[in-house]
Amino acid sequence: ETGVTQSPTHLIKTRGQQVTLRCSSQSGHNTVSWYQQALGQGPQFIFQYYREEENGRGNFPPRFSGLQFPNYSSELNVNALELDDSALYLCASSFGGSGNTEAFFGQGTRLTVV
Amino acid sequence: GQSLEQPSEVTAVEGAIVQINCTYQTSGFYGLSWYQQHDGGAPTFLSYNGLDGLEETGRFSSFLSRSDSYGYLLLQELQMKDSASYFCAVLNTDKLIFGTGTRLQVFP
């Protein structure tokens, strides 16, 4: 167990809807990164939050957005869901922002878009 | 572009030694990490190489050659519980760039 918790664990949404995924980081960690993992693929970096500010973004459209709260928990929001958004969404917590060498992942949220 | 290449699948028997190679081409590089992921589970950190050479952690070792853009994960004394997917990942400033993963199957 890493101490990183994500909710919900599974979710089914309809194309065009909006979804919010949540992540509680490990105690003492101030950085949260979000990844999308399609079946049979490696995780793809969406964005990172460090001390409530976005600190880097991957190649994802603006309909993927996020927040980090003062307690360092985080949300990932996806608008106008598409079928290709079906994936496992992973949250990773770490300490220190850029250059931290070990990330602790949550169990993920399995999103299915129908 | 950015890419990490690793074999898609490796099989071995209990007690054997397996090496999973990773070659990378990325625009930025801090170091190379390795993560293990069991089916339905979260990726878990195994090792990190920031400098050239070998890092040893119990049954697992990892190697990096920055000049060759190459690294490997060595798993010794394989156990059934080592059956999982293994990902190399380049640490690039704020993010991890993952390879597509190597599925390791350990047979009795």
User: pLDDT tens digits for A42-57?
Assistant: 999 999 999 899 989 9
Inter-chain residue contact B101 with A42, CB threshold 8 Å: yes
The residue-averaged pLDDT of A12-31 equals: 94
Integer CA distances (angstroms), B11 to B7, B24, B43, in order: 11, 23, 20
Inter-chain residue contact A43 with B43, CB threshold 8 Å: yes
Distance from CA of B23 to the nearest CA of A (A): 15
pLDDT over 60 (residue A98): no
Residue of B48, B95, B100 lying closest to A101 (CB–CB): B48
Q: Please give the backbone phi and psi of residue B5, each rounded to the nearest 5 degrees, phi first.
A: -110, 130
Q: Which of B11, B43, B46, B44 is nearest to B32 (CA)?
A: B46
Q: Which residues, 6 or more positions from A63, have their beta carbon under 8 angstroms from its beta carbon?
A: A78, A79, A80
Task: Report chain A residues whose CB lies below 8 A from the CB of B99.
Answer: 42
Which of these ranges, A25-29, B9-13, B52-56, has the smallest mean pLDDT?
A25-29
Structure confidence at residue A1 (pLDDT)? 63
Residue A69: which H helix or E strand, with range? none
Summarised one tens digit per residue, pLDDT across range B14-51 is 999 999 999 999 888 889 999 999 998 999 999 999 99
Residue of B30, B95, B100 lying closest to A45 (CB–CB): B95
Inter-chain residue contact B30 with A99, CB threshold 8 Å: yes
The residue-averaged pLDDT of A14-37 equals: 94
pLDDT bin (cut points 50, 70, 90) of residue A27 is confident
| Percentage of residues of chain B with pLDDT beyond 70 | 99
A103 vs B: CB within 8 A:
yes
Q: Which amino acid is at A49?
A: Y
| Percentage of residues of chain A with pLDDT beyond 70 | 95
Task: Report chain A residues whose CB lies below 8 A from the CB of B84.
Answer: none
Task: Report chain A residues whose CB lies below 8 A from the CB of B35.
Answer: 105
